[in-house]
Amino acid sequence: MVPMSDMLEQIQALGDQLRWGARIDGQIGTNSEILFAGMGGSGIAGNYAAAIAGPFGTRVTVHKGYGPVPLWAVRQRPLVIAASYSGNTEETLDFALNAHESGLPVASITTGGKLGGLSADNAWPTVAVPAGMQPRAAAGYMIGATLQILESAYAVDDQRLALAEAADLADEALGEGSEEWAQASEIAERLTGRIPIVYGGGPLSGVVAQRWKTQINENAKVPAWYSLLPELNHNEITGWETLPELTREAVAVVSLRDRSDHDRIGARLAHTAALTEDAVPWVGEVTSKGVSLLARLISLTAVGDLVSLMLAERSGVDPVPVATIEKLKKLLVEDHQ
């Protein structure tokens, strides 16, 4: 097994990143409609913000891709948040320019790069986040900055207490020897050599299921997918019928739970496991902790981040490099030359 390199230290900085988010401030105006544009490790902040903002009556629509701006946004003029940790994500840059040219208000979150230059040229409100990390390990910065923009636009209430609770919970969960560390180790052991599938069943557990999937992809360099209940009960549940000899050896399921899940989700998970366990092992269930929405999101996130690192370690993979992504970016640049 190889060491977790410095990715563990980056992941363990999550609590401090969230505390940083509680210290930033600014003022943008009033807007209860948000259109968030971001990809990958930056984009997940928009999904988390959407889960948090919903109960406040704020709609956060997350756009992951190029422009143009959808017609509904041209009509309703939401605040566009363009988020790119590096500042050079071409899809986000394209969408931000389209939004600006369509007359929509734009704010940005970045360490600099081309997005930082565009923001300065066009006087877009910008939250400058600390640089020097892998984007997927800067989730606390990106989430904190996104919530700050929403708070300054009066789209959510004061998030400082939630950020403090989430930060303390992250510190506890990500420390070696914690209950979450032990749970992650057990799940990683059961997932080793298999394709992980992560099931969520609500607005919080579902968005973190996506984070688990992408962290396993980037850190452990293995395929993974996520699906959501109850939708998967109307299709995916039948996908375990034909190849049980293959799937019981090659795949495994982890489920995520939060108290915001509909009352029927628990029964659906239990019945789904019972109906499919001969074809696919169910290797763990993780239940959120905390009071605030953010803290509960972070509690599930911490376990998933640890699982992804432990899978990398068990497979002898350095979790930091993402060589294939970098090769793709290089090829795309060469296409324009």
User: Which residues carry out catalysis?
Assistant: 218, 234, 329
| Residue 188: HSE in the Cβ half-sphere, 13 Å Cα cutoff | 24
What's the rounded Cα separation, in Å, for the pair 295 and 259?
13
Give phi and psi for 150, each to the nearest 5: -65, -40
Is there a contact between 258 and 287 (Cβ–Cβ < 8 Å)?
yes
The DSSP bridge pattern shows strands 59-63 and 195-200 to be unpaired
Total length of the chain? 337
CA distance 148 to 187: 34
List Cβ neighbours of 108 (8 Å cut-off, separation of 6 or more).
81, 82, 83, 84, 96, 115, 116, 118, 119, 124, 125, 126, 127
> Which residues does 36 contact at the CB level (< 8 Å), separation at least 6?
43, 45, 46, 49, 50, 60, 61, 62, 63, 80, 81, 83, 146
Phi-psi region of 248 (alpha: psi -120 to 50; beta: other; left: phi over 0): alpha
Closest CA to 205 of 305, 296, 117, 122: 296
335 Cβ contact list (under 8 Å, min separation 6):
none
What does the alpha-carbon distance between residue 53 and residue 116 come to, in Å, rounded to a whole number?
A: 26
Closest CA to 267 of 278, 281, 257: 257
